[in-house]
Amino acid sequence: MKLKPSLKQKKRYVLFEIQAAKAFSLPDVAEAIEASLQRFLGELGLAKASPMLVKEKWNEKKQRLVIKVNHDYVDELKSAIILNKKIKNTPVLIRSIVVSGTLKKISSYL
């Protein structure tokens, strides 16, 4: 049985950019983001926000990534990720570029 559109979870896509002295691989970034979300939101908040890293949109050259999240938790997601200061003991600066409701619009910023 399919869900009605009114019952589906609304989502947003957030584009982040990592600025650091060295480039990181996707597994390193995913691990650091998961840890920072767990630390900031906790288990219940993580379940409600339901963040998901969109692996197909990872740009290793520009160090940009897209995360899909519930529309009510966009600000919490940004706060949790921006507070992350290190990946693999390397100081980093993570900033959000744009928030969109579709992947097509986000792709123009990659």
CATH of residue 69: 3.30.70.3250
Q: How far apart are CA 62 and CA 16, in angstroms?
A: 10
- Say if 62 falls within a structural domain: yes
- Say if 107 falls within a structural domain: no
- Say if 104 falls within a structural domain: no
User: Residues 31, 89, 92, 104: what is their CA dihedral angle, to the nearest 10 degrees?
Assistant: -20
Residue entry with tokens 């767990």? 38
List alpha helices for 14-93, DSSP H.
26-49, 74-82
Which among 92, 91, 37, 39 is positioned nearest to 63, based on CA atoms?
A: 92
- Say if 3 falls within a structural domain: no
Residues contacting residue 94 through CB under 8 Å, at least 6 positions apart: 16, 17, 18, 19, 81, 82, 84
* pLDDT 10s digits, 83-106: 999 999 999 999 999 999 999 999
pLDDT tens, per residue, the chain with 110 residues: 888 988 888 999 999 999 999 999 999 999 999 999 999 999 999 999 999 999 999 999 999 999 999 999 999 999 999 999 999 999 999 999 999 999 999 988 88
- Say if 66 falls within a structural domain: yes
Q: Of all residues in the chain, what percent carry a pLDDT higher than 70? A: 100
pTM here is 0.90
Number of domains in the chain: 1
- Say if 2 falls within a structural domain: no
Q: Element (H or E) spanning 106, and its range?
A: helix 103-107
- Say if 108 falls within a structural domain: no
- Say if 27 falls within a structural domain: yes
Residue entry with tokens 């409600």? 48
Domain with 78, as residue range(s), is 9-99
